[in-house]
Amino acid sequence: MVEKVQSTDGTTIAYETAGSGPPLILVGGALNTRQSPGGLVPLLVEDFTVVTYDRRGRGESTDTPPYAVEREVEDFSALVAAVGGSAVVYGHSSGGILALEAAAAGVGISRLAAYEPPYLTTPGGDVLWQVFVDKVQALVDEGHPDLAVEEFIRHTGADFDAGMKQSPWWPSLVALARTLPYDLTLTGDNIVPVQRLGRISAPTLALYGGASAAWAQASASAVAMAVQNGRQDVIEGQEHAVAPETVAPTLLEFFR
């Protein structure tokens, strides 16, 4: 059953729960809705009440422009309050960044796992990043959501096949294109915000895939070092699109 909670600015956030036990919130990244982690939910429900939700502007949640990271943190805070006031949290990609920002802002997160938050740690990467951000924003503003999604996928390093546009799931991605700038804003200048993350006292696990590009391990390492009580771990054989069955055991061990 879909439930809803109202954020500070009046935005309605839709969420679902499954299972029993303490709440575990899953935070999706770009082009994700509450259905996206569907393969992970059944692997966690015996130990936790698993909460999935539509971030603002997606699925059954509403939106209130202009976008700001602070507004998404308020959304997340309202969700935590609705499910009991405190939760363990797993964020994937830019969803990991949102979870980190929420923890840094003092939202009730007791333990936090983030898989490959997309920060870069190499000098000069911020310049190329800004070019990419500006291009995606321009494509959205000019009414080319399909091209914005294509640009985003290509930038992630994933192989882009023109045949993707004929797949049954392509329209759902295009429908979410307007929220791509939200995820890019979350990532900021693409550099780990060490001072802000240093406010996080909750035990934090930064994860990366053993088959991912070098930036993923560097980002996980930087996040683990920035927080007060952090460590990193690798999910062997995995890339950015981590398979649920490979990451679930690590999450269960950490959250238990």
Q: What is the pLDDT of residues 92-119, one digit of tens each?
A: 999 999 999 999 999 999 999 999 999 9
Residue 161 has pLDDT above 90, yes or no: no
Mean pLDDT calculated for residue range 153-181: 87
Give the pLDDT band (50/70/90) at residue 130.
confident
pLDDT of residue 158: 67
- The average confidence (pLDDT) of the chain is 94
pLDDT of residue 128: 79
What are 13's strand-pairing partners? 5
Superfamily of domain 3-122+190-255: Alpha/Beta hydrolase fold, catalytic domain (3.40.50.1820)
Residue 10 DSSP label: S
pLDDT of residue 126: 65
> Where along the chain do its domains lie?
3-122+190-255, 125-184
Proportion of the chain above pLDDT 70, given as a percent: 97
Q: Residue ranges of the alpha helices (H) in the chain?
A: 69-82, 94-104, 125-141, 145-155, 170-175, 180-187, 194-197, 214-226, 244-255
d(CA 43, CA 245): 7
Mean pLDDT calculated for residue range 147-157: 88
Q: Which of 22-31, 145-154, 203-212 has the lowest mean pLDDT?
A: 145-154
